[in-house]
Chain A
């Protein structure tokens, strides 16, 4: 009977990590709002989280049908990084729409805090279980 932290804390640890990554990507979009030819990026959050928690076994491996085929695994470094489709692209090729990015950033920050609250309550539950209160 050992306490497994991975089971006790659940998805929230991974969720917080991916939220943090997404925040930095959205911040990068906002920093480049005036850069010519910059394309706004975003994470496919659901995909990243399901891969992080190991619930999908989806890898970008090449199918090998002959024993002389080369094994090319993970040739795509960032399969979850997608480009945002702009409603109204700028004339200089920049696809950052600052209001949309800002809204996404704020939403992401709130969801980060939600994940944090869940994680915190998990810890509180563990400590009260250890104290036997």
Chain B
């Protein structure tokens, strides 16, 4: 049943967007986490989204060969989380306790403006998936009252 499929699809969308919100929160929380060496400093993390492709089911429905199932796919998945290769920020702060021998402190390559944009985009997409799920729920509930 195609309508039951919508719950999985919208759920996968909500899951992916909440993971994106998690990475955004982590990036913003660590935006000022200074470190004394380039390999210890926190790097900006981003999730990688990909569409889940499902095999097209060519099954005939109701014994009618024209009625094959059109399954586009089944939502979105998170392939993993990548760390950004953007250049780190290197500030000259000799009085800082984390400063290295030359007086430099390394700061994470987190762009705060970018992260705020990500946050707004993720929360809006999450909201949209919630609305899709709500109207799918109404459709299914309506079907259950057939013949009453």
The chain B residue sitting closest to A106, CB to CB, is B135
Partner of B64, one of A22, A27, A31, A54: A54
Query: Nearest chain-B residue to A33 (Cβ)?
Result: B125
* A42 (CB) vs chain B CBs: closest residue: B72
Q: Which residues of chain B from 106 to 143 have a CB within 8 Å of any chain A CB?
A: 121-122, 125, 128-129, 131-132, 135-136, 138-139, 142-143
* Pairwise interchain contact A120-B146, C-beta atoms closer than 8 A: yes
- Specify which of A34, A52, A98, A116 is in contact with B67 (CB 8 Å cutoff): A52
Interface residues as binary, B59-74 with A (CB distance below 8 Å gives 1, 0 otherwise): 0010010111111111
Which residues of B come within 8 Å of A, CB atoms?
1-3, 5-6, 9-10, 12-13, 16-17, 20, 49-51, 56, 58, 61, 64, 66-76, 121-122, 125, 128-129, 131-132, 135-136, 138-139, 142-143, 145-147
25 contacts between A and B (CB under 8 A): A20-B2, A21-B2, A23-B2, A23-B6, A27-B6, A28-B9, A28-B74, A30-B129, A31-B13, A31-B129, A32-B13, A32-B49, A33-B128, A34-B49, A35-B50, A36-B49, A51-B67, A52-B67, A74-B58, A77-B56, A109-B139, A116-B142, A120-B145, A123-B146, A123-B147
